Amino acid sequence: MNDRQENFFSMVLATRLVLEANKSDWQPIAGFVSAVDDLDEKIEDTEASRLAQEEDRTGIATNKNEVEANLIKTTLNISGAIQAYAADQGDVELKERVSFTKGELQKQRDTILRDISIIVLKEAQKIGAPLNDYGVTAAEVSDFETLTEDYRDIMSRPRVGTTDRKTATEDLVKHLDEIRVIYKERIDKLMLNFEDTHTHFFEKYFNARKIADV
């Protein structure tokens, strides 16, 4: 991915987390459910194409269940440290943003689990050195980033097949365009239903959409 594509896809992952956190609001709307299902499929296609663009890496675990269990454990450990840091700082919003239980993580779809881990990773990277005082070192944050990449590779690899890098680049552009259409022609329109009735959800969604709506 180039920088512009990375920025757009970061927006996609951020808004998808907002949608997941407010699932009870939109789930009764069949058209909304259909749009999110299509979005999830295109996110997985995009991840597969991005993986096919990259050179193979060695040392990646082949056991998906093992890597997933490790990802959940690490996400919880680092999110716990961030929550403690946030409590000391009086930052309620940060604390809520990284607050997840083991049960919640275990029942998430692969793409959503990785999205959550990325959110926790980004917050840890933003905080930086102060997390040392809460039991999380820079090396552990770096290892966490590698783990999220390993998980992405494992969940995407069965979809990659023999796709060559040139084709993957073309497919990547196609998938991102399809995602853009899902947002602009379906989800963004359906979100208007919540402007007056679910203001917090509405504002969170469109704030996330502003990150890189290109």
User: What pLDDT, on a 0 to 100 scale, did the predictor assign at position 54?
Assistant: 61
Annotated domain spans of the chain: 3-209
* 51, 63, 66, 121 from 1: Cα distances, Å: 10, 27, 28, 20
Write down the pLDDT at residue 2: 81
Query: Number of C-alpha atoms within 13 angstroms, CB side, residue 37?
Result: 7
pLDDT given for residue 214 in this prediction: 44
- The DSSP string of 142-202 is HHHHHHHHHHHHHHHHHHHTT--HHHHHHHHHHHHHHHHHHIIIIIHHHHGGGTTTSHHHH
Q: Which of 6, 32, 78, 43 is nearest to 205 (CA)?
A: 32
Spatial separation of the C-alpha atoms in residues 74 and 34, rounded to whole Å: 32
Residue-by-residue pLDDT tens, the chain, 214 positions = 787 888 888 889 889 989 988 999 999 999 999 999 999 999 988 888 877 666 444 444 457 788 899 999 999 999 999 999 999 999 999 999 899 999 999 988 888 898 899 999 999 999 999 999 999 999 999 999 999 988 887 776 544 444 466 777 788 899 999 999 999 999 999 999 999 999 999 999 999 998 644 4
| Dist. CA 206–CA 200, nearest whole Å | 10
What is the pTM assigned to this prediction?
Answer: 0.58
Tokens of 195: 């402007």
